[in-house]
């Protein structure tokens, strides 16, 4: 009798354990299904949001689209440069240095063009020396002659580059696009030298300095600062 009771008890325990296991399995399966449904719903909502975003983007004005595109490109470039700098290597430094140099050169060139268009190009003029005008541009219609003391210092009227020298003359391509020939001068500069306005370029050989300035619009009065500046603007335009 006792053995039969113990057998029935063991059977009941096994049955209860099976019921509990099945119950737990159903709960776990239900939780998995709920998690799957939640993820599916989130993905569906995310897709809907992106569809709505792209739909609105398509309706944006063209100017806004271009702005967004350029902003994205700038952001990518900025992140790329930041990433390169973060490497902190010599190659990275050289690469970023080249980028900076290129950008700086391009910006300088564009700035120079803008300054000229706005009439902001720097124009510095200097008289070549003190003396007496013995032949004016109005008289010769080509050059001017100035009398001064022998061996007096002669200065460049405009900044530029020396292209030719001889025993008694200097030819300078001025930065404003004109060319000036100084005759009656003992040069102290050489071909290829870059000179600034008012820089001493030689000394008077005897007593007469002859100046001849020419441009694409003809001969100019080397002593007329306003005429030289206006001629430069005409050449550039």
CA angle 203, 205, 207 (to 5 degrees): 105
DSSP state of 176: T
Q: Tell me, rounded to whole angstroms, the distance of Cα 133 from its chain centroid.
A: 47
- According to the model, what pLDDT value does residue 57 have? 64
- According to the model, what pLDDT value does residue 29 have? 79
Stated pTM of the model: 0.50
Residue 182 has pLDDT above 90, yes or no: yes
pLDDT band of 210, cuts 50, 70, 90: very high
Distance in angstroms (rounded) separating the CA atoms of residues 144 and 164: 20
- According to the model, what pLDDT value does residue 180 have? 96
Cβ neighbours around 143 below 10 Å, total: 21
From the list 138, 146, 134, 156, the residue with the least C-alpha distance to 219 is 138
Residue 81 has pLDDT above 50, yes or no: yes
Which residues partner with 173 through β-bridges? 161, 179
- According to the model, what pLDDT value does residue 76 have? 76
The residue to which tokens 């900025």 are assigned: 78
């Amino acid at each position: 009798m006792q053995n039969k009771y113990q057998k029935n008890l063991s059977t009941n325990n096994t049955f209860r354990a099976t019921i509990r296991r099945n119950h737990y399995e159903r709960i776990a399966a239900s939780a998995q299904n709920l998690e799957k449904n939640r993820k599916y719903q989130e993905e569906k909502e995310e897709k809907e949001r992106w569809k709505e975003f792209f739909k609105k983007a398509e309706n944006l004005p063209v100017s806004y689209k271009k702005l967004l595109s350029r902003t994205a490109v700038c952001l990518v470039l900025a992140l790329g440069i930041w990433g390169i700098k973060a490497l902190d290597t010599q190659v990275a430094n050289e690469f970023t240095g080249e980028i900076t140099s290129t950008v700086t050169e391009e910006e300088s060139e564009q700035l120079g063009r803008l300054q000229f268009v706005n009439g902001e190009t720097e124009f510095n003029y200097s008289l070549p020396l003190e003396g007496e005008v013995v032949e004016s541009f109005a008289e010769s219609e080509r050059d001017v002659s100035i009398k001064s003391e022998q061996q007096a210092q002669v200065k460049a009227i405009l900044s530029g580059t020396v292209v030719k020298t001889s025993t008694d003359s200097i030819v300078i391509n001025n930065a404003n696009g004109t060319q000036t020939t100084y005759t009656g001068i003992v040069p102290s500069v050489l071909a290829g030298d870059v000179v600034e306005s008012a820089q001493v370029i030689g000394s008077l050989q005897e007593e007469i300095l002859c100046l001849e300035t020419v441009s694409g619009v003809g001969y100019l009065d080397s002593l007329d600062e306003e005429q030289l500046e206006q001629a430069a603007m005409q050449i550039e335009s």
